[in-house]
């Protein structure tokens, strides 16, 4: 007996273990506006103090499990004797226990669930030590935070969110009684599966609470009449921003190793940069428009038989048939004839996918993130995320990097280049870029070419003034990290990049030429609310602020009178905004990246399988497939006064030179005429414009003398650059 007792005591939890219980806790992911986005856990448990639990919960627990809780010392002798006597008198094969709340806590925290004498003895001694270590309220709090409530919810806080989508502090009397009722049998009394059983158990507990004096008869009658109203959110739910929280989970992997933390059991509080309101608006904008695109695609798409057969051959089922001895022809024929299977395969292949990411350009904080077209919490299952995992050709949305390099090099925005095809020999082949509508024209300004997305002018600009490596250099400085091929076709966006990179790079334009690294996590705290790590984004000056403003003004023209003109006219967004549309080769990808001084957002639309493409420019170009999502997102954000978004002007540096210029002649002109607009120059660009004016003035005068219109002593009047050079000082 001595050795038995001695060995028993050696297996009891130590004083240190008793004083520092370490139940597995879920890590919580919060939005910047304080909303719970998601949980990472092995056991869905969140610790809260007793003061953060509705008073009805411990009352219901005591009335049901341990009426003498505040009177005993961990073991209720009177209750134990009565229950043992009842078991003997009724001859029960499976004896009812008389465990107190403290004994149940001891079992849950430190012991096993086995039904043996040894375990009961351990439970007795451990509960006595718990009573010596903790106050009664602390024991209640520990119990309510560790017990299992079914549906994957450990602890009352997790249970409150699982069944009622609210914190434990907000639980009503009937809700509290219902949760305590689940403890007897989490499966039998689960209100989501067995509502009738759950309500009956709830009403029994309400009666026990009345008998114990916790509630009045009136409260009992009112609570009994209340209907079962659940807002059931099981552990399989992936939260309010599933693509984003999965990205956060991936981001946390190196941080977990660095700080020796376990995101699944250490109860971390992860505060992200995402705004739940903007996330909701992004998802609504995507959901509404992707249905519009899908409808038009489905009406016009015809499966090429060759492609259909190729896709069948790529399936695991086809390979399995070959492995089992079928010939290639037999396997293909069998699967072609399985209509139901084939329809699902082809249906899944032709689902339009979307990527949307919005960030604050001033600090890089990611505010909204949609990585695909399936983002409902109950449907999402760790799918491919198009925001940061999908690399696609950006098409014309890459052109601003080329134009930035040109402006920074001193080429004015109103410099004219011939809008005609240019044949470029690359090896044994000749490459000729054409405009999307196959049109051509005469001399065209860079400003007009960018606003109308003219490929021919863009390629000629690259050919005459820039090298591919120069353009790549600017793209890299502004935030593009993917490998870019140094060839002439890069001018039209043929190298693949991600939407996140593109949003980050365009954020440089919105932030006065300063690039800020995209940030998803603001800080991480441990379960004691101590800061584990805090994030400060990396920043760098990517382009000169004067160059940047000229580019912003050119990208504003895209919205005012170019390919993005639907923003003010169709969607009624008369705000300071800029952006660029893009359409990939063969209509595989549709893009729009837009920005204001407060927000930058990139949108991509396309398909997972790049062999599938949109069938018409009428719905598949950037201005129709991607731009509306940006516009509708912005409308919703601007309408929400709580976001504090307003119409602000882009910052204009003092070094920018503003000159009224005639669109028709490209020469300085008087203000307030229909033909005149304000052109913006860098100092270098202005000097080049001046030299071009002098040269053209001399050529014009010489031509007039030759034609007899004027003589050398009486040339036609020409407005010299000195007449408008004062604009540099004024602006």
679 Cβ neighbours under 8 A, 6+ residues apart: 412, 413, 414, 447, 658, 659, 660, 661
Instruction: Please state the pTM of the whole predicted model.
Output: 0.82
Residue bearing the bigger pLDDT, 394 or 109: 394
What's 598's DSSP letter?
A: S
**pLDDT confidence of 286, banded at 50, 70, 90?**
very high
pLDDT at 711: 40
Check pLDDT > 60 for residue 578.
yes
pLDDT at 704: 43
Check pLDDT > 60 for residue 267.
yes
Check pLDDT > 90 for residue 362.
yes
d(CA 517, CA 251): 14
Helices (H) and strands (E) in the chain, counts: 29, 20
Residue 562 token pair? 């170019």
Check pLDDT > 90 for residue 221.
yes
d(CA 697, CA 444): 19
d(CA 280, CA 231): 19
Check pLDDT > 80 for residue 348.
yes
For residue 186, give the 3-state DSSP assignment.
coil
Would you say 59 and 53 are in contact if contact means Cβ atoms under 8 Å apart? no
d(CA 284, CA 230): 25
Residue bearing the bigger pLDDT, 117 or 475: 475
34 sits in the region (left: phi over 0; alpha: psi -120 to 50; else beta) called left
Core vs surface per residue 595-622: b (16+ CB within 10 A) or e: bbbbbbbbbbbbbbbeebbbeebebbbb
Q: What H or E segment, with its residue span, contains residue 704? A: helix 683-706
Tell me the β-bridge partners of 27.
40
d(CA 32, CA 447): 39
Which of 539-553, 574-588, 604-618, 712-726 has the lowest average pLDDT?
Answer: 712-726
Q: What percent of the chain has pLDDT over 70?
A: 85
Average pLDDT over residues 131-160: 89
Average pLDDT over residues 260-289: 95
Check pLDDT > 50 for residue 376.
yes
Residue range 409-467, pLDDT digits in tens: 999 999 999 999 998 877 778 888 899 888 999 999 999 999 999 999 999 999 999 99
Residue range 477-516, pLDDT digits in tens: 999 999 999 999 999 999 999 999 999 999 999 999 999 9
Handedness of CA 448, 450, 453, 454 (dihedral sign): positive
Residue 361 burial (CB count, 10 A): 24
Residue range 660-671, pLDDT digits in tens: 999 999 999 987
pLDDT at 730: 30
Check pLDDT > 90 for residue 59.
yes
Long-range contacts of 19-23 (CB under 8 A, 24+ apart): 19/133, 21/109, 21/142, 21/146, 23/47, 23/109, 23/145, 23/146, 23/154
pLDDT at 83: 52
pLDDT at 117: 57
Residue 208 token pair? 């026990």
Average pLDDT over residues 333-351: 94
pLDDT at 95: 45
Residue range 18-31, pLDDT digits in tens: 555 667 888 999 99
For residue 429, what are the CA distances in angstroms to 16, 423, 494? Answer: 77, 10, 17
């Amino acid at each position: 007996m001595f050795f038995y007792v001695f060995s028993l005591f050696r297996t009891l939890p130590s004083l240190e273990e008793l004083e520092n219980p370490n139940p597995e806790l879920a890590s919580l992911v919060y939005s910047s506006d304080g909303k719970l986005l998601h949980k990472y856990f092995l056991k869905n448990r969140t610790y809260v103090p007793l003061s953060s639990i509705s008073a009805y919960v411990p009352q219901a627990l005591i009335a049901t499990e341990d009426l003498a809780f505040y009177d005993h010392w961990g073991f209720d002798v009177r209750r134990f004797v009565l229950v043992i006597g009842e078991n003997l008198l009724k001859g029960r094969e499976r004896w009812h226990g008389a465990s107190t709340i403290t004994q149940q806590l001891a079992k849950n925290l430190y012991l096993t669930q086995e039904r043996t004498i040894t375990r009961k003895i351990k439970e007795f001694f451990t509960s006595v030590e718990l009573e010596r270590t903790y106050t009664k309220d602390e024991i209640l709090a520990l119990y309510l935070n560790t017990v299992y409530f079914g549906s994957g919810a450990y602890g009352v806080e997790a249970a409150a969110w699982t069944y009622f989508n609210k914190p434990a502090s907000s639980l009503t009397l009937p809700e509290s009684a219902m949760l305590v009722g689940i403890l007897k049998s989490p499966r039998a009394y689960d209100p989501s599966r067995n509502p009738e059983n759950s309500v009956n158990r709830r009403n029994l507990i309400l009666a026990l609470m009345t008998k114990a004096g916790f509630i009045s008869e009136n409260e009992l009658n009112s609570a009994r009449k209340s209907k079962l109203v659940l807002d059931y959110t099981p552990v399989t739910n992936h939260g309010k921003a599933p693509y984003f929280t999965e990205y956060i989970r991936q981001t946390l992997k190196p941080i977990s190793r660095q700080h020796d933390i376990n995101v699944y059991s250490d109860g971390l509080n992860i505060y992200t940069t995402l705004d739940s309101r903007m996330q909701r608006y992004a998802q609504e904008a995507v959901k509404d428009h992707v249905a519009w695109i899908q409808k038009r695609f489905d009406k016009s798409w015809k499966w090429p038989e060759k492609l259909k057969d190729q896709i069948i051959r790529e399936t695991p089922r086809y390979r399995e048939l070959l492995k089992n001895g079928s010939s290639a022809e037999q396997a293909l024929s069998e699967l072609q004839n399985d209509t139901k299977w084939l329809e699902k395969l082809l249906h899944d292949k032709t689902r339009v996918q979307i990527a949307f990411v919005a960030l604050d350009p001033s600090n890089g904080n990611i505010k909204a993130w949609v990585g695909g077209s399936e983002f409902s919490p109950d449907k999402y299952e760790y799918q491919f995320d198009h925001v940061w995992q999908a690399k696609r050709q950006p098409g014309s949305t890459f052109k601003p990097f080329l134009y930035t390099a040109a402006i920074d090099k001193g080429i004015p925005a109103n410099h004219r280049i011939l809008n005609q095809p240019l044949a470029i020999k690359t090896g044994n082949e000749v490459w000729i870029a054409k405009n999307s509508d196959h049109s051509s024209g005469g001399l065209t300004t860079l400003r007009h070419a960018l606003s109308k997305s003219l490929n021919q002018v863009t390629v000629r600009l690259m050919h005459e003034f820039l090298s591919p490596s120069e353009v790549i250099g600017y793209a890299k400085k502004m935030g593009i990290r993917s490998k870019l091929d140094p060839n002439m076709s890069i001018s039209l966006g043929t190298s693949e990049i991600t939407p996140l990179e593109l949003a980050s790079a365009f954020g440089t334009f919105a932030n006065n030429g300063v690039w800020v690294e995209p940030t998803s996590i603001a800080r991480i705290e441990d379960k004691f609310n101590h800061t584990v790590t805090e994030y400060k984004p990396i920043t760098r000056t990517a382009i000169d602020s004067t160059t940047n403003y000229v580019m912003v003004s050119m990208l504003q023209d895209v919205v005012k009178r170019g390919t993005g003109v639907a923003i003010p006219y169709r969607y009624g967004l008369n705000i300071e905004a800029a952006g660029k549309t893009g359409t990939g080769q063969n209509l595989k990808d549709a893009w729009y990246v837009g920005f204001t001084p407060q927000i930058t957002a990139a949108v991509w639309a396309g398909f997972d399988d790049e062999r599938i493409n949109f069938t018409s420019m009428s719905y598949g170009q950037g201005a129709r497939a991607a731009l509306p999502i940006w516009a509708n997102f912005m409308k919703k954000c601007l309408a929400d006064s709580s976001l504090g978004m307003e119409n602000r002007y882009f910052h204009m540096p003092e070094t920018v030179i503003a000159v009224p210029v005639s669109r028709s002649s490209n020469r300085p002109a008087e203000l307030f005429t229909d033909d005149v607009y304000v052109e913006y120059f860098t100092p270098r660009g202005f000097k080049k414009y001046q030299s071009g004016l002098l040269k053209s003035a001399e050529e014009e005068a010489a031509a007039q003398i030759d034609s007899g219109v004027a003589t050398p002593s009486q040339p036609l009047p020409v407005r010299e650059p000195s007449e408008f050079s004062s604009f540099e000082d004024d602006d």
